[in-house]
Structure 1
Amino acid sequence: MTAIMKGVRVLEVSEHGFLPMAGALLADWGAEVIKIEPVERGDAARGITTTGDDVNVLFEHANRGKQSLALDLAQSEAREILYRLAASADVFMTNKLPRVRAKLKLDVEDLRAHNPRLIYARGGGAGEKGPERDRGSYDLLSFWHRTGVSSMVARPDGSLPFLPAPGFGDFTGAMFIAGGVMGALFHRERTGEATVVDSSLLATGMWSMGAAIACADRDPAWPWPPPQANPLSATYYTADDRRIALCCLQAAHYWPMMCEAIGRPELGRDPRFATQDRLLGNAEAATILREAFAAHSLAEWRVKLETFPGQWNVVQTAAEVPSDPMVEPNGYLQRVETAAGVPFRLVAAPIQYDGVPARPGRAPEFNEHGDAILEGLGLDWDAVVDLKVRGIVG
């Protein structure tokens, strides 16, 4: 793997998923990422478990490959340690609210006073400007509900679905933060100018909903009544109650080939289904496909559709994805061990360089690297012990 971020030092003061996941991506690609955690409890995400076993998967996913140092940033001596680290860093990342940054002296000017070349990246719920800049949020609120995503997938009874996965908006938005940081580093390399990188869960959710928002902005009546249904862009149940999703937008082109696949080649020549206009909204064509798919199991359809040139996929559960035939060859799932040696797997970074997936490291234990980082700043052991006793460091 080409470690394109090797030699880059990132200093991170953030919790939960949005900014931490961006730091994790940079670590996957070779950056040294030092995570600063509160002395008393560490990152709040350490207390959120999702699987009920001895692997905190959510924390591991968002903090892979980092070093951990516990500092009480409410104390000036802890901030001085942070500033000394910032002096040798390339990037500072935080999701602290503006009022918290001001109180802890973590704003751009505070860090840049010690390193004018520092890239400063920040991200929160809704943005740095406006009346709600100091309101905290989570991806469920700012990415999912506020941007119109949940309303677009509302159930027939009007109820709104929950996030499809833990950290769904956090981890989606993190890629934008990581990309923004990398762009800022490239800009600094070319011009010598250090920039501030801003994003938010609202901004990244709006980007994901960009086409819908643009349509609605032009016509407040949008969404319009849905276009006539395409029978070759729909989901069908199999005999064993599994689902196959078709997405053949050129319905007339693929209809004869689908008729071959379902064993009804004569329907491919039937004038009732001969053109795109005749297929769209054609309830009879949809009924034919619904009955055909219901007659065979998923295993049988995998064979029948193997040579079908149109676009289709099985509707899979999260538990089935690791066994997808494209996952292992492409390295999309990587093996990791916790600090205690417990094996588990994490999804790899979605960008590969030179055709090789980035291999994630494990997340750090709380303050695991604290002593070594402090010693690297030139503090002797007596000084470190004194800082520990006074609760300034972990």
Structure 2
Amino acid sequence: MEKQLLEDLLVIDCASFIAGPAAATIMSDFGARVIKIEPPVIGDSYRQLMNVPGMPPAAHDYFWTLDNRNKESLALDLKRPEARAVLDALIEKADVFITNFPGPIRERLRLRAEDVMPLNERIVYASLTPYGEEGPEKDRTGYDATAWWARSGLMDAVRATPDTPPGFSVPGMGDHPTATALFGAIMTALYKRERTGKGSAVSTSLLANGLWSNGIWMQAALCEADFSVRLERGMRGALTELYKCRCGRWFMLAMLNYQREWPLLTDIIGKPEWRDDPRFATHEARRANAPALVAALEEVIGARDWSEWKPLFQKAGITFGPIAQPADHLECPQVAANDFLPEIDGAAGLRTVDSPIRMTGQQKRKPGKAPAIGEHTRAVLAGIGMNEAAIDAMIASGAAAE
């Protein structure tokens, strides 16, 4: 079998929930060995998220399946000296250490960069925080819903009208792009290590990534833009609006190349006479009469199903986007052609979501099942030289669990 790009790397995932652990997941997709450190018995609190009200029920824990595939679970009580000795032994061998624990917990458990890096001069220490490494909020707890979505301004910016209440984010919506940023930081540090032989401490935060995701509006604010006017439906132009088909499906027109696309649209919808209609004949006229054009398009588009409109838009080459729902992608030919939803090895056809990075000539690992709490405790402890009696004693004491 072809050697995978990160196959020689050992990553310690000493983190919880999503953004930190998901960076390790991306590394595992490219072959890295990832050992996840979890508390005995209860494990990572992320395992409980499916029980939160409002989460759609399913036969599998989709949270854990997605973000902890390919990993080995080592259950350790890091408050116990013997458990900490095990972690130190792993740190001495590891290439990457990832944590997102709050600052006071890192200090209490001796998991800060100044605690970890002296044990291994080549290690990359990767830190994920909600609000950044410095400042009055550096030790505040937070999730992507609070630090990425709400705090960054994205939550407010996407409201349909000034009177529309702010909308909740989808679970992990900010965590996964933040994990990709942390992955990039780790790989940058590994590149530096190739040049210098020394490890580094790298970091990112949910807030920094939220501000970056909202970067256009943030740069506008920095340039003293006026945000006092929020556009109502139709005011941004009829050719860059949302429309609803007869079947209930919504889609988005994004016709920025209106000189080419406007005639194509009028042909598709059977209204070539609109090209000579003084209300719509020019870009300026369409802008001035946007509410009328929106209403006219709503009537025409609402008379047919999406299954009829989609091939017409595709054939004409008009820029559009269906407002998809998750289940739409399960049998999507485009998704299938790119293997964006690969099968999990040994999971009876269960699929997962691939991480979004590809490299020509590099085969990703076939996804493996996410581990049970402490599933690999014995194997990992044996791998650092502990004999069977010592492992039994450690498990019996509660310092470790299987």
Pairwise same-fold verdict (TM > 0.5): yes
Runs (5+) with no aligned partner, structure 1: none
1: CA distance, partners of 2:10 / 2:288: 57
Instruction: Summarize the alignment of residues 172-251 of structure 1 with structure 2, pairs less than 5 Å apart.
Output: 172-219=177-224, 221-222=226-227, 224-226=229-231, 228-251=235-258
Instruction: Summarize the alignment of residues 2-151 of structure 1 with structure 2, pairs less than 5 Å apart.
Output: 3-49=4-50, 50-151=55-156
2: CA distance, partners of 1:239 / 1:146: 37
- Three-state SS of the structure 2 residue aligned to 1:123 is strand
Q: Give yes or no for the alignment of 1:159 onto 2:204.
A: no
2: CA distance, partners of 1:112 / 1:257: 61
What TM-score, normalized to structure 2? Answer: 0.92
Equivalent position amino acid for 2:249 in 1: R
Q: Give yes or no for the alignment of 1:347 onto 2:348.
A: no
Kindly provide the CA deviation profile for residues 1-22 of structure 1, in whole angstroms up to 9, marking residues without a partner as x: 8732121110111111110111
Runs (5+) with no aligned partner, structure 2: none
Instruction: Summarize the alignment of residues 298-377 of structure 1 with structure 2, pairs less than 5 Å apart.
Output: 298-336=306-344, 341=347, 343-354=349-360, 359-377=366-384
2: CA distance, partners of 1:54 / 1:315: 26
How has the CA–CA distance of structure 1 residues 285 and 66 changed in structure 2, closer, same or farther, with 3 Å as cutoff? same
How has the CA–CA distance of structure 1 residues 307 and 54 changed in structure 2, closer, same or farther, with 3 Å as cutoff? closer
1: CA distance, partners of 2:3 / 2:105: 37
Kindly provide the CA deviation profile for residues 142-171 of structure 1, in whole angstroms up to 9, marking residues without a partner as x: 0111111111123543411111x2211111
Number of residue-to-residue matches in the alignment:
391
Q: Percent identity?
A: 33
* Residue 358 of structure 1, CA deviation: 5.3
* Residue 342 of structure 1, CA deviation: 5.3
- Three-state SS of the structure 2 residue aligned to 1:346 is coil
* Residue 330 of structure 1, CA deviation: 0.6
1: CA distance, partners of 2:314 / 2:188: 42
1: CA distance, partners of 2:371 / 2:126: 22
How has the CA–CA distance of structure 1 residues 357 and 373 changed in structure 2, closer, same or farther, with 3 Å as cutoff? closer
Aligned residues of 1:248 and 1:254 also touching (Cα < 8 A):
yes
* Residue 235 of structure 1, CA deviation: 1.3
Kindly provide the CA deviation profile for residues 33-54 of structure 1, in whole angstroms up to 9, marking residues without a partner as x: 1111112411111122244344
* Residue 337 of structure 1, CA deviation: 5.6
Aligned residues of 1:252 and 1:279 also touching (Cα < 8 A):
no
- Three-state SS of the structure 2 residue aligned to 1:319 is helix
Give 2:395's aligned residue. 388
Aligned residues of 1:4 and 1:29 also touching (Cα < 8 A):
yes
- Three-state SS of the structure 2 residue aligned to 1:81 is helix
Kindly provide the CA deviation profile for residues 303-350 of structure 1, in whole angstroms up to 9, marking residues without a partner as x: 332321220122221121222221101101111267xx4542211111
Aligned residues of 2:28 and 2:365 also touching (Cα < 8 A):
no
2: CA distance, partners of 1:228 / 1:365: 52
When structure 1 is superposed on structure 2, of 7-16 and 275-284 the one drifting more is 275-284
Give 1:273's aligned residue. 280
When structure 1 is superposed on structure 2, of 40-49 and 9-18 the one drifting more is 40-49
Kindly provide the CA deviation profile for residues 360-386 of structure 1, in whole angstroms up to 9, marking residues without a partner as x: 222111111111111111110001111
Aligned residues of 2:125 and 2:200 also touching (Cα < 8 A):
yes
* Residue 229 of structure 1, CA deviation: 2.5
2: CA distance, partners of 1:119 / 1:276: 54
Give 2:299's aligned residue. 291
What TM-score, normalized to structure 1? Answer: 0.93
When structure 1 is superposed on structure 2, of 246-255 and 173-182 the one drifting more is 246-255
Equivalent position amino acid for 1:243 in 2: W
How has the CA–CA distance of structure 1 residues 358 and 260 changed in structure 2, closer, same or farther, with 3 Å as cutoff? farther
